[in-house]
Amino acid sequence: MFLLLPGLPLLVILAAFLPPGLGTVILVLVVTGWAGSARVLRSQALSIRSKDFVAAAVVTGERPLRIMFREILPNMASIVMGTLLACIIYGIGAQAGLEFLGLGDVSTVSWGNNLYWAGNEGALLTGSWWVFVPSGLCIALVAFSLSLINYAVDEVTNPRLRKIRKPKSGKPATPGKRASA
């Protein structure tokens, strides 16, 4: 059901009817953002659960918690970290968006509130770029840096993306010498 509901309108409606504050923003983001990530993680876990090494652990009598944390979770590290960082990026953007719309606590200082007040005061119309550019740039830079961290974590934890390194030989290659047939 949560996958069928459109996220942004539900986010705006819930934030409009609940009292403004950090708790409301967190509650609204959790209610509207968990379903997609849960679906991806569940499908990955079910895929790994059908592998031979998990079946071997079950046959040897391992406890379910040990199978989950020693067999399945390490093989899901890439997808778990990717999903976590994507959720953080979504949360930052959605929180700034809610506060930009005036649905957050306008008495706090945040990037979204800065954009809200810049819009209300007509900073774009008056050419006061220094009011809204730093906040927008900070949101974009944080999202970009978290995306780069996501790519790095994926490269480290995903065995398919690891580069195969050639073993170093003890003898350096001599240029210009041909191998005899």
Length of the chain equals 181
Locate tokens 């065995």: which residue?
159
Q: What is the pLDDT of residues 5-51, one digit of tens each?
A: 777 787 788 778 888 777 877 887 888 788 888 999 999 999 999 99
What angle is formed at CA 25 by the lines to CA 19 and CA 31, rounded to 5 degrees?
105
Query: Token digits for 38?
Result: 């849960």
Instruction: Tell me which of 25-34, 120-129, 172-181 is least confident.
Output: 172-181
Question: Higher confidence at residue 181 or residue 20?
Answer: 20
Q: What is the pLDDT of residue 52?
A: 93
Give the pLDDT confidence score for residue 177 in this predicted structure: 54
Distance (Å, whole) CA 85 – CA 146: 7
Q: What is the pLDDT of residues 71-110, one digit of tens each?
A: 898 888 888 888 999 889 988 888 888 888 887 777 788 8
- Looking at residue 58, what is its pLDDT? 92
pTM, two decimal places: 0.75
Would you state the torsion angle of the CA atoms of residues 16, 4, 76, 63, taken in this order, to the nearest 10 degrees? 100
Encode the chain in three state secondary structure.
CCCCCCHHHHHHHHHHHCCCCHHHHHHHHHHHHHHHHHHHHHHHHHHHHCCHHHHHHHHCCCCHHHHHHHHHHHHHHHHHHHHHHHHHHHHHHHHHHHHHCCCCCCCCCCHHHHHHHHHHCCHHHHCCHHHHHHHHHHHHHHHHHHHHHHHHHHHHHCHHHCCCCCCCCCCCCCCCCCCCC
